[in-house]
Structure 1
Amino acid sequence: MRRRQKLAFALGGCFLLTVIMSAGLVVADREFPPPLDKADVVSAEVLDADGQLLRAFAAPDGRWRLRTNVKDVDPQFVQMLVAYEDRRFFVHHGIDAVAIGRAAIQLMTNGRIVSGASTLSMQVARLIEPRETRSFSSKLLQMARAVQIERRLSKEEILNLYLTHAPYGGNLEGVRAASLAYFGKEPKKLSVAEAALLVALPQIPERRRPDRFANIAEQARRRVLERTAVAEVVGDGEADRAESIPVPRSRLPLPALAAHLSAEALRRAPGREIYRTTIDKHVQQNLETVAQEASLRLSPKLSLAMIMADARTGDIIAEVGSAGYFDSARSGWIDMTAAARSPGSTLKPFIYGLAFEQGMVAQQTIIEDRPSDFFGYRPKNFDMSYQGDVTIREALQLSLNVPAIKLLNAVDPARLMGRLRRAGVQPVLPPGNVPGLAIGLGGVGVTLRDLVQLYTALANRGMPVRLGDGILSQPGHIDDAPILDETSVWNVADILSGLTPPVGARRIGIAYKTGTSYGYRDAWSVGYDGRHVLGVWVGRPDNASVPGLTGYGTAAPLLFEAFSRAGVSITPLPRPPLGARRTLQADLPIGLRRFSISPSGLIISYGREKPPEIVYPPEGAHIDLGLRQGNPMPLTLKLQGGRAPFRWLANGQALPDVARTRTNQWSPDGRGYSRLTVIDSTGQAASVGFFVD
C-alpha cells in the first residue's frame, strides 16, 4: 500500500511539475518558442496539371517527407488514428490529464506500463524537436512544448504536422510517403487494413517495417484493429476481414515520372516545394510504359524520345526525354527532346503546303521523279530508285526526294525558312550557310520540340501554337499570319492521313509523316489528329550511325502504339474548308495538270511573257471592304505580266470564271486572313496574302 501511495505521489508531483513548467513556458513563449520552422523542411514535389504527383525529391536530409494535410488522407484513417493514439485529442490542450491518471492506475495495478499518456500534440513536439535520449526531463519538455504548440496551432494544423512527420521506417516520413511506398497510391482512399497498418507503424517504425518484419507488422496492425475505440470507427466485422489481408512485403519506389522535365524544373527554380506542370499524369505514365517496353526491343545503345502536345493550347501533356533516365548505356540522362538533329523528310509536308498555297500544284498534278541536277545538287531517293511520273499525292506519300526538291526549288528555300520561323521555330544551319535545297531533305538542325510545334499548325488549320516548356514558360497562339492557308493545310492532311500505317498497326484516324536522316542516324515520326500532336525520335545520343534505322520501320510503329495507348480520345481532323476537295486530273486547269521543271531546276516558261505579278492587293495589306458595317464591297484584283487566260484561286478555291483580262473581282466570305493565287496559261503562278477588315 505504501508503495502505491509513493508512486501516486510521484506521478502527481510530475503532473504538477509539468503544469508549472508548461505555465512557465507559456509565459516565456516569445523567448523560447517551439522550433516550428523545422517542420517546413519537406520534399520537393513536381505535380501534373491536375495536382497529381509526378515525381518527388528527397528532402535535404535524405528523407522522403511529403507535406500532408488532413484533406490529403482518408477520413477514416484520421478517425482510427485519433481513436488509437489520443481519444481526447479534440478536447485537451496538449496534455491529457485523464490519460496520465489512467496510466498511473494501470502502472500501480499491474506493476508495469500498460498504456502511455502521450498525446498527438506531444508526439508532434517530439517529431519536430527530437531528443537523443529518453529521460524524465525530455518528457517534461515534450509536454511543455505540446502546450505551446496547442496555443499556436489549430487542431487540424497539429494533425497536419503529425501526418507529415510521423516515421514509417527507413527514410520514410509522413503518411503520403508511406502509402506510396507500401501501397503504391496516395492515401486519399485506404482500406481498413491499410489504414490500420499506417496507424501502427510510427510507434516502433524500424521494428515494424512490413518490408523487413512482416509478421511483426501484422501483429501491430492486429493490436490496432482489436482496440475497442478503433473497432467502433471501422464497424462490425471489418476488423476481422482486415486481419485476413496480408501486409505488403516490399517497398515500392516513389513516383518518378517525367524525369527530365522534373530535373529541369528544379534546376530553373531551386528551393521551391511545389512545381506545377502542364503534364497529364495518365498520358505521361502510358507513354513512359511504351518507351520502356520499346527499349527492350531496341539496340542497347539506342535511345528514344516522345512529346505529345495540345495543338490548340500549346500545352505539353507528355514528354519522354529518353528510354530510361538512369540507363547509362543509352546515355539516358540526356534529354533528346531538346537535341538539334537532322529531321530527314519530316519538313516535306511544309514544302508541299507552300506549293499548294502558291497554286503551283494540286493533289493530282503530275510531277516527274527522275534523276535531276539542281546547279550541281543531285538528290537521290531513299531506295535509290525512281518512279517516273507520279501525282503530287503519291510523291508526298512515298516521300520521294526528287519531287520534293523540285517543289522547294520552285517555292524558294528562303520562303520555307521564313514560314518555319513564322511558326516560332529557329532551325540551325551550318555556320556561314544560307538556306539551300538540302534543307528539304534534312540539311538543317531541329529538335523534336521544334517539329511538334511546327505540326501544331497542320492540326490547327494553319495557325501555329507556341509550345510551353511544361514548367514555367506559358504556351499560346503566335500573333502572326498562318504558316499556311487553310486549304493547303487540308490538302496536306488529306494526303498524310491516307498513308498506310506501319506493319502491324491499325488505322487510328491520324495524319503522319516519317523521316530518316542521312547515314541512318535519326528516325522520326510525327503524327496528329484534330487536337493532339505526337512526335517520336529514335537514335543514338552520340549521333553515331545505326544501319537499318528508319523512320517508317522504327519510329512510326512507336508513334501508332503511343497514340493508341496514350489515353487521349482521337479527335477527327479538321473538315475541308468550303470548296476544298480532291479534283480529278482531267478537271484541273491545263496549267495544273503537270508540274514541269528544266534540268537546271528552273520552272519552264512557255512564252516570252514575264510571269504574272499581283499588284493589287499588295502582300500583307489590311483592306477595309465594309464587312464590319454590313455593306460589303467586292475586291478588285489587278495583275501584270503572264499570258491569258488567267485562273484565280481564293484561299485555294478556284473562282468560277477564267479571266482574259488582267483585272478581276472577288467577294470574300468574311473577315480575316486570305490568300489569292493567279495561274496563267503557261502554268506560271503568283500569290499574295493579306487581311480583309
Structure 2
Amino acid sequence: MKKKLFKYRKVILAALFVLSVAYYFCLPKTLFEDPYATVLNTAEGHLLSARIADDGQWRFPEETALPDKYIQAVITFEDKNFYWHPGVDPLAFGRAMVQNLRAGHVVSGGSTLSMQVIRLHRKGKSRTIWEKLVEVVLATRLELRHSKTEILELYASHAPFGGNTVGLSAASWRYFERQPAELSWAEAALFAVLPNQPSMLFPGRYERALMAKRNRLLERLYAKGALDATALELAKSEPLPLAPNELPQMANHLLGYASVNGYKGQHLRTTLDRYLQAKVNKVLQAHHALLKTDGIHNAAALVLDVKANRVLAYAGNVPHTGAEHAENVDVIQAPRSTGSILKLFLYASMLDEGMILPKTLLPDVPMFFEDFAPKNFTRRYDGAVHADDALSRSLNIPMVHLLKMYGYPRFHEQLRNLGMSTLSKPAGHYGLTLVLGGAEGTLWDMANMYAAMSRTLSGSGEADEKFAEFVLNNEGVHSNSRKEEPIKASLSAASVWFTFQAMLEVYRPEEDASWKMYSSARKIAWKTGTSFGYRDGWAIGATPEYVVAVWVGNADGEGRPGLTGIEAAAPIMFDIFDALPETSWFLPPRNELTMAAVDRQSGYLASPYSIAVDTVFIPKAGLRTAASPYHQRVHLNARETERINTNCAEGDELISKNWFVLPAKQAHYFKQRNPAYQELPPLAPGCGTADLWVMDMVYPEPNASLYLPIEQDGAQGQLVFEVTHRSADATLYWHLDNQYLGTTETRHSMELSPAAGPHTITITDQQGNELVRRFEVIRSSD
C-alpha cells in the first residue's frame, strides 16, 4: 500500500496543487458588478438626493458601517454561529441536508450569511443540492478573503428588500426615511427577516404574517438580553410600513453635476447644509409663483461658504416646474450672457494696476465704435460720472470707456486667469462688448470668482486656490471634486475693498418706490446684470462669510419684459441672505492703502489748479495715476464774463482763477444733470481765435467708418451729424469737403448723404473756432 501511494505521490501532489489553485481562484476578485445609485448625503448622513441605478434598482453603494441593532437582529435570525464557523455551519448544514434528502428536494437551506452572500453573488441560481455544495466551497473561500464585518457589509448591501429596493441603506430610506444608524429595534428586526421573503412586504396582503415573523425575532432578541421588556413591548407595537416612500430630491442638479464629474454610482458626503438647501428651494418656488405670471419659468441659486470654500446650497433650477419648462436643466453650469456682472472685475483690475482711482471722472456721452454703439440702460447720459458711481449704477458707456483704456485682449486674459472658464473664443470675437454681456458665463464661475475676491479681502485667499468644493471624503476634508485649472491671478485687497465699497450702494431705480422692501439691513456688496433682450437676470452678493448668486430667466433663452437683474434676481438674493446667519463686513486693508490729495471734482490726483482737494485713502498703486486734466488756470476780466490775456488787456485787469472744465461734448450733457456747473467764459474779442474746448462732435467719432442706412421703402437713408457748443446762442457753419452746406442754431445737427469714400467735415463758429472731423463712407447703397 505504501509503495502504491509512493508511486502515485506526484499525481496526488499535482492534483492537490491544481485543486488548491482552483480553490484560490474560484472566487472572483470583485463579487458584485452591479450598477449603483448615486447618492448625496450631508456630512451628518442625511439623504439629500439619489438617482436610481442604471438597471432600475434602488441599490445604494456598498455599506461600510452597520448599526449594532441590525447586526444583532440579522445574526440572531439568519446565522447564530456566524462569528464561529468558517463559512459553513456543519450542524445547520447537516440538518438541512437530511431534511432535503428525505423530501427529495430542497426544503431547508441551512445557509450561513457567508453562503447567502455567495448566493446573492451568483444571482440566486436554482436551489439544487449541487448548487448548495458550490455555495459551501465558495463560502469557505469568502471567509479566507474577507473579515466577518466585511461579509456582513456585503450581505447588507446586496440583500433584497422588496420590489426594486436592494440593500439596507436604500431600504432604510425608502421605508422609514432615515439612515440605518437611526433604525429602531422593530425596524432592524424587520430588515433582518425581510430578505428571507421580500415579497411579503406588500400592502394589504401579508401584514399579519410578516409582523408575526418580526415579533418572533424581537422575542428571541429579548431572550438574548439585547433589549428589555419595555423596549420589547414598544417594538412589537410599531406598525409595518405600508409602502416604499419617494426618496428626497432636494439637490438633484448637484447630483447630476457630481455624476458627470466622476462620482456616478457613489455614496457622497457633500458640503451642503440640509436646512439651507431646503430654504433656498422654497425661496425659488415662492418667487417662481410670481415670475411665471410674466412668462419667466426658471431660476437658479448658489450659496458659498467663503472662508471654508464650500458649497452650502446648490439649486440648479426651480423644483417641480415640469419638463415643459426644462426643470432638469442645471442653469448653474449653463453658459448665459453675463450682462453687467463682469463690470466689477474691470473696475477692480484697473484699480489694481494703478490706471484709475475710485472716483476718477469718466465720460458718459454717446459713443460710436464702427458697428458698436453702447447705450446706458436708462438711455440717459450724465456727461461725466465718477468711476465708483458708474459701477454702482451699472452705467454702460463709462465701463466701455474703461475697457477701451484697459484693452479688451488684456481683460479677456484677466478674466480667464481669475477663473472664467467659458471664454472659448479669442478676445477679438467679443471686443468691447465683453463688459456688457457679449460673453457667456456660468453662475458657478461667477459665484466662485466673487468668493475669491472676498477671501482676498479677508486675508484667506490664495493665488492658486480652486473653486468651491462640494464633496467631502471620509475624513471630512475637501476632496478634489472638480478638476479645474488653478486660479492664475488675484486682485489686490485694496482694489477689492474699493470695489466692494462701491457695490454697497448699488443703484436702485428712482421710479421703483417699492424697492425698499427688498433692501437688507446687513452690509452686502452686490451687483446685478441684465442681458440684451431681457433674457437673463443676475444678482450676486458677497460678505466676508457668504456669496449668494442668483440667475433668473428662461432656460430656452426666451426674453421677457421686466426680466432684469434688479427686479427679478435681486429680491431672491436678499431673501436667501435673510435665511443666513448674521454677517460682518470687511476691514480696510490698511497696509495696501495710502493717504493722497485727490481732486474732489474730477477724482484724479490733485493738480496745482484743483479748486477743492480731499485727503483720502487710495490704493498705493493709485499714486501712479495722473493729476486732474479737467482743471486749468484762466484769466478773466473784472466782471468774470470773458477770458482775457496780456495781449488784449492790461495786467491789472486780469483776475486769475482755477476753473473746472469738461470737454464740450461732456459738458453738454453734464450741465443738464448738474445745473451748478459753470461753463468756461468765452475768449474776449481780440484775445485770440483758437479755443479748443469750445465745441465737439457728438457723432461720428474721429476717423469713423460709416454705412448709409437703407430705409424701409428701399430708398437711400442719410447720416445724422451732431455737434455741441458751449454757447447756447452760437451759429455754426458747416462744410463737407470744402463745400458749404448751411448753418445751424441752438440744435446743431445736419442730415447728409455723402458718396462712398473718404470725407472731411468742417464746422466753424462766429469767433473762427474750427472743428474738423474725417470719416469714411463704406458704401452708399446696398
For residue 390 of structure 1, report the CA deviation from its aligned partner.
6.3
Select the residue among 441, 444, 450 that pairs with 1:446: 441
1:490 aligns with 2:492: no
Select the residue among 37, 52, 58 that pairs with 1:64: 58
In the alignment, the residues of structure 1 paired with residue 568 and residue 204 of structure 2 have an alpha-carbon distance, to the nearest angstrom, of 41
In structure 2, the residue matched to 1:332 is: 327
Residues 132, 466 of structure 1: CA spacing in aligned structure 2 closer, same or farther, 3 A cutoff?
A: closer
Residues 157, 678 of structure 1: CA spacing in aligned structure 2 closer, same or farther, 3 A cutoff?
A: closer
Q: Superposed, which structure 2 residues align to 1:393-472 within 5 Å?
A: 393-425=388-420, 428=423, 433=428, 436-461=431-456, 465-467=465-467, 472=481
In the alignment, the residues of structure 1 paired with residue 307 and residue 205 of structure 2 have an alpha-carbon distance, to the nearest angstrom, of 50
| Runs of at least 5 residues in structure 2 that lack an aligned partner in the other structure | 1-15, 101-105, 471-479, 509-514, 632-782
Q: Which amino acid aligns with 1:336?
A: V
Select the residue among 152, 158, 163 that pairs with 1:170: 163
In structure 2, the residue matched to 1:81 is: 74
For residue 515 of structure 1, give the secondary structure of its aligned residue in structure 2. strand
In structure 2, the residue matched to 1:594 is: 602
Select the residue among 541, 555, 574 that pairs with 2:555: 541
For residue 306 of structure 1, report the CA deviation from its aligned partner.
3.1
Looking at both structures, which has the greater relative contact order when contacts are Cα pairs under 8 Å and sequence separation is at least 6? Answer: 1
Structure of larger gyration radius: 2
Task: State whether residues 72 and 187 of structure 1, in contact with CA within 8 Å, keep that contact through their aligned partners in structure 2.
Answer: no
Q: Superposed, which structure 2 residues align to 1:232-631 within 5 Å?
A: 232-254=225-247, 258-263=251-256, 265-267=258-260, 269=262, 274=266, 279-280=271-272, 282=274, 287-288=280-281, 290-292=283-285, 294-299=287-292, 302-311=297-306, 316=311, 318-324=313-319, 327-354=322-349, 356-357=351-352, 371-375=365-369, 378-385=373-380, 392-425=387-420, 428=423, 433=428, 436-461=431-456, 465-467=465-467, 472-474=481-483, 478-480=487-489, 482=490, 484-499=491-506, 503-504=517-518, 506-565=520-579, 572-578=584-590, 589-590=598-599, 592-594=600-602
Residues 217, 304 of structure 1: CA spacing in aligned structure 2 closer, same or farther, 3 A cutoff?
A: farther
In the alignment, the residues of structure 1 paired with residue 356 and residue 147 of structure 2 have an alpha-carbon distance, to the nearest angstrom, of 74
Q: Superposed, which structure 2 residues align to 1:20-99 within 5 Å?
A: 30=23, 33-34=26-27, 37-45=30-38, 50=43, 56-69=50-63, 72-99=65-92
In the alignment, the residues of structure 2 paired with residue 122 and residue 458 of structure 1 have an alpha-carbon distance, to the nearest angstrom, of 58
Residues 166, 444 of structure 1: CA spacing in aligned structure 2 closer, same or farther, 3 A cutoff?
A: closer
Task: State whether residues 593 and 617 of structure 2, in contact with CA within 8 Å, keep that contact through their aligned partners in structure 1.
Answer: no
Task: State whether residues 309 and 315 of structure 1, in contact with CA within 8 Å, keep that contact through their aligned partners in structure 2.
Answer: yes
Task: State whether residues 367 and 595 of structure 1, in contact with CA within 8 Å, keep that contact through their aligned partners in structure 2.
Answer: no
In the alignment, the residues of structure 1 paired with residue 427 and residue 346 of structure 2 have an alpha-carbon distance, to the nearest angstrom, of 23
Task: State whether residues 651 and 675 of structure 1, in contact with CA within 8 Å, keep that contact through their aligned partners in structure 2.
Answer: no
In structure 1, the residue matched to 2:618 is: 652
In the alignment, the residues of structure 2 paired with residue 226 and residue 426 of structure 1 have an alpha-carbon distance, to the nearest angstrom, of 62
In the alignment, the residues of structure 2 paired with residue 147 and residue 430 of structure 1 have an alpha-carbon distance, to the nearest angstrom, of 62
Cα deviation digits, residues 340-363 of structure 1 (max 9, x gap): 322112122234334545667665
For residue 533 of structure 2, give the secondary structure of its aligned residue in structure 1. coil
Residues 211, 508 of structure 1: CA spacing in aligned structure 2 closer, same or farther, 3 A cutoff?
A: farther
Task: State whether residues 271 and 311 of structure 2, in contact with CA within 8 Å, keep that contact through their aligned partners in structure 1.
Answer: yes
Q: Which amino acid aligns with 2:602?
A: R
In the alignment, the residues of structure 1 paired with residue 528 and residue 468 of structure 2 have an alpha-carbon distance, to the nearest angstrom, of 24
Cα deviation digits, residues 618-673 of structure 1 (max 9, x gap): xxxxxxxxxxxxxxxxxxxxxxxx9999x99999357xxxxxxxxxxxxxxxxxxx
In the alignment, the residues of structure 2 paired with residue 489 and residue 74 of structure 1 have an alpha-carbon distance, to the nearest angstrom, of 50
Deviates more, 1:445-454 or 1:426-435: 426-435
For residue 527 of structure 1, give the secondary structure of its aligned residue in structure 2. strand
Task: State whether residues 211 and 251 of structure 1, in contact with CA within 8 Å, keep that contact through their aligned partners in structure 2.
Answer: no
Task: State whether residues 313 and 476 of structure 1, in contact with CA within 8 Å, keep that contact through their aligned partners in structure 2.
Answer: no
Q: Which amino acid aligns with 1:511?
A: A
* Seq. identity, %: 32
Residues 457, 103 of structure 1: CA spacing in aligned structure 2 closer, same or farther, 3 A cutoff?
A: closer
For residue 187 of structure 1, report the CA deviation from its aligned partner.
0.7
Residues 32, 343 of structure 1: CA spacing in aligned structure 2 closer, same or farther, 3 A cutoff?
A: closer
In structure 2, the residue matched to 1:192 is: 185
In the alignment, the residues of structure 2 paired with residue 257 and residue 222 of structure 1 have an alpha-carbon distance, to the nearest angstrom, of 35
For residue 652 of structure 1, give the secondary structure of its aligned residue in structure 2. strand
Select the residue among 595, 608, 629 that pairs with 1:682: 629
Select the residue among 99, 112, 120 that pairs with 1:127: 120
Task: State whether residues 77 and 196 of structure 1, in contact with CA within 8 Å, keep that contact through their aligned partners in structure 2.
Answer: yes
In the alignment, the residues of structure 2 paired with residue 228 and residue 311 of structure 1 have an alpha-carbon distance, to the nearest angstrom, of 50
Q: Which amino acid aligns with 2:437?
A: G
For residue 204 of structure 1, report the CA deviation from its aligned partner.
1.2
Residues 468, 162 of structure 1: CA spacing in aligned structure 2 closer, same or farther, 3 A cutoff?
A: same
Task: State whether residues 648 and 679 of structure 1, in contact with CA within 8 Å, keep that contact through their aligned partners in structure 2.
Answer: no
Residues 205, 437 of structure 1: CA spacing in aligned structure 2 closer, same or farther, 3 A cutoff?
A: same
Residues 227, 360 of structure 1: CA spacing in aligned structure 2 closer, same or farther, 3 A cutoff?
A: same
Q: Which amino acid aligns with 2:538?
A: W
Task: State whether residues 37 and 54 of structure 2, in contact with CA within 8 Å, keep that contact through their aligned partners in structure 1.
Answer: no
Quote the RMSD (CA, aligned, Å).
4.7
Deviates more, 1:545-554 or 1:405-414: 405-414
For residue 514 of structure 1, give the secondary structure of its aligned residue in structure 2. strand
Task: State whether residues 208 and 216 of structure 1, in contact with CA within 8 Å, keep that contact through their aligned partners in structure 2.
Answer: no
Q: Which amino acid aligns with 1:172?
A: T
Task: State whether residues 68 and 160 of structure 1, in contact with CA within 8 Å, keep that contact through their aligned partners in structure 2.
Answer: yes
